[in-house]
């Protein structure tokens, strides 16, 4: 596994994107709506991984609920895996609990799933597999 990206929940792209562009000295290279999650994402490339800003599209999605409860900030860390289904099975056999046991389509042309924060001492961990490297696309 390698670190793929760090997800940061924000309230407002118009305010957050310029701050991250200034900090990282890099432009936001892609914005994308993920209908299944009712969020919009904005991506930045760094030397070692990507930064993903997440903004809720309504008040009922997980990102808006997170921001309303905890405020904007670190939401999750994501690791790229070669085979997401095998990773789910492997970790379930080791006793880890998942938010979703079946991968779904996420941003950046990836299949994704999340470990439940209860399994990770309060940290939401995402696993992602590039659909271009996938034998079993969604």
Q: How confident is the model at residue 134 (pLDDT cuts 50, 70, 90)?
A: low
H/E element holding 7?
strand 2-9
Q: What would the DSSP string read from start to end of 9-70?
A: E-S-HHHHHHHHHHHHT----EEEEETTTTEEEEEEE-SS-EEEEEEESSSSSHHHHHHHHH
pLDDT tens column, 34-56: 998 999 999 999 998 999 999 99
Compute the mean pLDDT over every residue in the chain, rounded to the nearest whole number. Answer: 94
* Residues 19, 125: Cα–Cα separation, whole Å: 25
- Asked if the 2-133 domain carries CATH number 3.10.180.10, the reply is yes
Tokens of 19: 């701050």
Residue 5 above 90 pLDDT?
yes
Domain ranges of the chain: 2-133
> Does the predicted model carry a pTM greater than 0.95?
no
* Residue that wins the pLDDT comparison between 52 and 137: 52
The DSSP element (H or E) to which 8 belongs, if any, is strand 2-9
pLDDT tens-digit readout, 64-106: 999 999 999 999 999 999 999 999 999 999 999 999 989 999 9
Report how far apart, in Å, the C-alpha atoms of 29 and of each of 41, 61, 95 are.
11, 24, 38
On whether the CB atoms of residues 79 and 91 are closer than 8 A, the answer is no
């Amino acid at each position: 596994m390698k670190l793929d990206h760090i997800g940061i929940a924000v309230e407002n792209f118009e305010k957050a994107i310029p701050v991250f562009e200034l900090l990282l000295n890099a432009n936001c290279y892609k914005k994308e709506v993920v209908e299944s999650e009712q969020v919009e994402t904005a991506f930045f490339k760094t030397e070692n991984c990507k930064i993903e800003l997440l903004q809720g599209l309504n008040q009922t999605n997980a990102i808006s609920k997170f921001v309303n409860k905890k405020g904007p900030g670190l939401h999750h860390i994501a690791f790229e895996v070669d085979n997401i289904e095998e990773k789910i099975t492997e970790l379930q056999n080791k006793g880890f609990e998942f938010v979703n046991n079946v991968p779904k389509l996420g941003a950046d042309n990836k299949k994704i799933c999340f470990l439940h924060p209860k399994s990770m001492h309060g940290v939401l961990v995402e696993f992602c597999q590039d659909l271009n490297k996938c034998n079993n696309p969604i």
